[in-house]
Amino acid sequence: MNTMNTKINRRSFLKVSVLAGGGMMLSFNALLLGKPLNGEALSLPSEFYELNSYIKIAADGAVLLMSPNPEFGSNVKTSMPMILADELDVDWNNVSVEQADFYPERFQRQFTGGSQGIRLGWKPLRTAGATARKMLIDAAAKTWNVPAEEITTGAGVLYHQASNKKAGYGEMASKAATLPVPKDVPLKKIGALNIVGTSRKNVDGKPIVTGKPLFGMDYKQEGMLVAMIVHAPAVGLTIKSVDDTTVRSMPGIKNVFVMNTLKDDYQRNAFDTTTFTEMVAIVGSTTWEVMNAKKALKVEWSEAPEKTIVVKGWGGQAQNVTIPAGLESTDAQKAKMVEMSKKPGKVLRKDGDPEEAFKKAAKVIERTYNAPYLAHNTMEPVNCFAHVTADKAELYGPTQAPEFIMQTLVARLGIPKDKIHIRLARMGGGFGLRAYCHQMVEAAVISQKMNAPVKLIYTREDDMTYGIYRPTYTATYKAGLDANNNLIAFQVRGGGIPEHAVHANRFPAGAVDNYLAEGWEINSNITIGAFRAPRSNFIAGAEQAFLDEVAELAGKDPIAFRLELLERAKTNPVGKDNDYNPDRYAGVLKLVREKSNWPAASKPNAHRGVAAYFCHNTYVAEVVDLKMQGNTPVFEKVYAAVDCGIVINPDAATNMAEGGIVDGIGNALFGELTFKNGVPEKSNFHQYRMIRQKEAPKAIEVHFVKNEEEPTGLGEPLFPPVFAAVANALYKATKKRYYEQPFAKYIAVSPSRM
């Protein structure tokens, strides 16, 4: 049995004797690292809603856990409390969780992103559950006057076998709350966990399908006004003049005004990413009235000059960032990227002597891969409710990272941090977009101006043309083989606007004697941000498609070729900074080979492609089977092997894996946003192509490696490798390699079929 020392987190514990309910409440700051569930089992007095992350055991034995982190569909709102309930040793049917508001003074990290919720919450949640259980045992020991070591628990009941005594947790909760927090608590052995590893239904499933008001778009308040914004039609423009004469006389319109969301001297943080800080706000009584007024507003625009802003990065050091002037176009950007790709980049890692190795190589292959900007396109449009008065502010809306927008709100509103209250709505999708909470600042500024509660709503066109896109990337790969078809040299030179996607220490780094990784970047006024599996979402596809082509040149099976390299990385690694475990990497390749019966396709006339990748601490290998109907790829089956450590909730994990695969196929085939003179050329779903239900794979098999490794990420890792698996399968089907996304443009997909 593991023992967890609670001393490190003693400041994070807060015991409260709950007089009203005869229960026990244990607040545990470290629980902010995850996201629990929204059940229906308990109804607490209103005074408890003000608290942060805590365990409450009611007199009837019901258990409540507040969820500090926002929920956006990854289902950790079910999986996190499963961890807690297991260590607490309670009946799952008696567990319920409510969404906490944002409390920066009590929580260290209320952030949903990076596939880190389960990974970072694993130990804190187990410790919290085990600590509460130990305090209940100590309470029973004192009450019965027996040694604590003789007391056992099960399904929320305490037992003392020798005296034949038993009591429900609720009976001991009040007394337990008066006891000191134990210094060390034993944790269950992994094999003894009985809730973790079993499938549990999404606790928000019923409220979602029955239309309960969980999302920001659902929110209403008496006296609430509706606001919309008008931003520049092109990136690189600023307001010259506004004619609102007609709009002000339209029905229901309360005000029209120009606003700046950030002050000129404001020092931004890494998440103050916004393309447009100057815009026109239109406020009215109803959504329909405001939408009509927005269409009638007349705004003249002029080109914005180059400017420099101050950004405080992750390390806390401020730096000057130049935002260039001009109206950028995709074609011109591509030309710049081609020119840059021909020049040496910044050396990110170098092993051996790649230049000399390439000169001696018997075979050399070089290929370049490109990918466009992508829009997030969350199903729920951007929105936020705000009510700002002279001395306080209340906000409610979908956000992944409330802690990162708090300092912006303080600076912009002139209201102290402790007077700003952010309530967290369930998000209708995030994918990184909702980490950039510009809409919260906009809604707050509008409410402050109007001195009234306001709900800000973006149209889909606003959302898609506002900015914060996945960057556009390119990468050139080069490989050298010796006379025996061994890989002796490998080079990657990656670039992008405005960042590159190269992870210098990832596979095949460490498996090749002569290795070179370079990166370069081109500045832009087009704003980018996190997109599902940032950087990996491009580089995995490029790398794994290239490795397939190298394997073919070497005359080797694609999986066998990768395993050969991983064996080298295991037995005789090059360098010391390799950020992957070769055994676990090889493990998913072997598992997917077995489960897919590689290389035989699952159906006649089907063609297969394979890819594997490591990101967010998780290893994934995927095999895609597709066949062509004319020029249309039909996805027969996808096999996935995943090593994410201990799987908390197999059904939820499978759902996330399936979602990542389908999303990846859709973006690989169709995802693309282009610019012409600063104008995004797609503004809604009739132009920006998303995958449709009939285009999803007919079957997806997800297989998890069984081990006792601590849980790692799962929301993002299935997404990156499927790009390459699709490209490699398309090559088998069409005898053509695909170097440019979206692939549908280059396989002449028939619109009538797709």
Structure confidence by residue, pLDDT tens digits, 287-327: 999 999 999 999 999 999 999 999 887 667 888 889 999 99
Which residues fall within 8 angstroms of residue 192, CB to CB, at 6 or more apart? none
| pLDDT for the residue numbered 318 | 85
Give the confidence band of 47 by pLDDT, cuts at 50, 70, 90.
Answer: very low
Q: Based on the fold, state whether residues 171 and 246 are members of the same structural domain.
A: no
606-619 pLDDT, tens digit each: 999 999 999 999 99
Q: Based on the fold, state whether residues 131 and 269 are members of the same structural domain.
A: no
| pLDDT for the residue numbered 78 | 86
Angle at the Cα of 114 (from 109 to 117), degrees rounded to 5? 55
Give the confidence band of 5 by pLDDT, cuts at 50, 70, 90.
Answer: low
Closest CA to 619 of 574, 665, 586: 586
b/e 719-737 (16+ beta carbons within 10 angstroms → b)? bbbbbbbbbbbbbbbbeeb
Q: Do 59 and 173 contact (CB within 8 A), yes or no?
A: yes
Residue 683 lies in a domain: yes
Task: Examine the fold and report which residue of 465, 484, 514 is the final residue of a domain before the chain moves on.
Answer: 465
Q: What are the C-alpha distances in Å from 393 to residues 224, 411, 419, 715?
A: 14, 13, 6, 33
Closest CA to 457 of 242, 685, 264, 225: 225
Tokens 């629990």 found at: 36
Mode of pairing for the β-strands spanning 278-284 and 253-260: antiparallel
522-580 pLDDT, tens digit each: 999 999 999 999 999 999 999 999 999 999 999 999 999 999 999 999 999 999 899 99
d(CA 63, CA 344): 59
- Among 21-35, 364-378, 428-442, 646-660, the range scoring the smallest mean pLDDT is 21-35
Q: Does the pLDDT value for residue 401 go beyond 70?
A: yes
Q: Does the pLDDT value for residue 228 go beyond 70?
A: yes
| pLDDT for the residue numbered 27 | 46
Q: Based on the fold, state whether residues 648 and 702 are members of the same structural domain.
A: yes
| pLDDT for the residue numbered 469 | 97
CB atoms within 10 A of CB 360: 13
597 phi-psi bin (left φ>0, alpha ψ -120 to 50, beta other): left
Looking at the DSSP assignment, which residues form a beta bridge with residue 476? 368, 493
Closest CA to 652 of 589, 702, 585, 722: 702
Task: Give me 326's structure tokens.
Answer: 């001009």
Q: Based on the fold, state whether residues 521 and 416 are members of the same structural domain.
A: no
- Top-confidence residue, 290 or 379: 290
| Helices (H), ranges, 383-523 | 402-413, 438-450, 460-465
% pLDDT > 90, the chain: 74
Q: Based on the fold, state whether residues 129 and 278 are members of the same structural domain.
A: no
| pLDDT for the residue numbered 359 | 98
Number of domains, the chain: 3
- Among 198-207, 380-389, 620-629, 691-700, the range scoring the smallest mean pLDDT is 198-207
Residue 328 lies in a domain: no
Angle between helices 650-670 and 76-88 (to 10 degrees): 160
Give the confidence band of 42 by pLDDT, cuts at 50, 70, 90.
Answer: very low
Angle at the Cα of 202 (from 196 to 203), degrees rounded to 5? 100
Q: Does the pLDDT value for residue 41 go beyond 90?
A: no
Q: Based on the fold, state whether residues 89 and 165 are members of the same structural domain.
A: yes
d(CA 633, CA 734): 10
The average confidence (pLDDT) of the chain is 89
d(CA 219, CA 386): 11
Residue 559 lies in a domain: yes
Handedness of CA 599, 602, 603, 609 (dihedral sign): negative
Q: Does the pLDDT value for residue 754 go beyond 50?
A: no
Give the confidence band of 218 by pLDDT, cuts at 50, 70, 90.
Answer: very high
> Domain containing 428 — which CATH number?
3.90.1170.50
- Top-confidence residue, 105 or 357: 357
Q: Based on the fold, state whether residues 583 and 685 are members of the same structural domain.
A: yes
Longest Cα–Cα distance of the chain, Å, equals 86
Q: Does the pLDDT value for residue 14 go beyond 50?
A: no
Task: Examine the fold and report which residue of 465, 497, 513 is the final residue of a domain before the chain moves on.
Answer: 465
d(CA 613, CA 469): 23
Return the CA Rg of the chain. Answer: 28
Which residues span the domain enclosing 139? 2-198
Mean per-residue pLDDT, 716-723? 98
Residue 383 lies in a domain: no
Q: Based on the fold, state whether residues 271 and 403 are members of the same structural domain.
A: yes
Residue 313 lies in a domain: no
Mean per-residue pLDDT, 241-262? 97
What kind and span of H or E run contains 196? none
Q: Does the pLDDT value for residue 745 go beyond 80?
A: yes
- Top-confidence residue, 316 or 479: 479
| pLDDT for the residue numbered 181 | 84
| pLDDT for the residue numbered 51 | 20
Give the confidence band of 105 by pLDDT, cuts at 50, 70, 90.
Answer: low
Q: Based on the fold, state whether residues 476 and 412 are members of the same structural domain.
A: no
Tokens 């393309």 found at: 275
Q: Which amino acid is at 165?
A: K
| pLDDT for the residue numbered 64 | 80
Task: Examine the fold and report which residue of 414, 436, 465 is the final residue of a domain before the chain moves on.
Answer: 465
d(CA 328, CA 275): 13
Mode of pairing for the β-strands spanning 675-676 and 679-680: antiparallel
> Domain containing 512 — which CATH number?
3.30.365.10
Q: Based on the fold, state whether residues 186 and 274 are members of the same structural domain.
A: no
Mean per-residue pLDDT, 210-235? 95
Give the confidence band of 24 by pLDDT, cuts at 50, 70, 90.
Answer: low
| pLDDT for the residue numbered 107 | 52
Q: What share of the chain is helix, strand, coil (3-state, %, to 5)?
A: 30, 30, 40
Residue 364 lies in a domain: no
107-139 pLDDT, tens digit each: 556 787 888 888 888 888 888 889 889 999 999
Tokens 């038993």 found at: 166
Q: Based on the fold, state whether residues 581 and 456 are members of the same structural domain.
A: no
Backbone angles phi, psi at 190, to 5 degrees: -55, -40
Give the confidence band of 69 by pLDDT, cuts at 50, 70, 90.
Answer: confident
Q: Based on the fold, state whether residues 460 and 556 are members of the same structural domain.
A: no
| pLDDT for the residue numbered 641 | 98
Residue 319 lies in a domain: no
Task: Give me 348's structure tokens.
Answer: 């990110």
Residue 376 lies in a domain: no
Q: Does the pLDDT value for residue 30 go beyond 60?
A: no
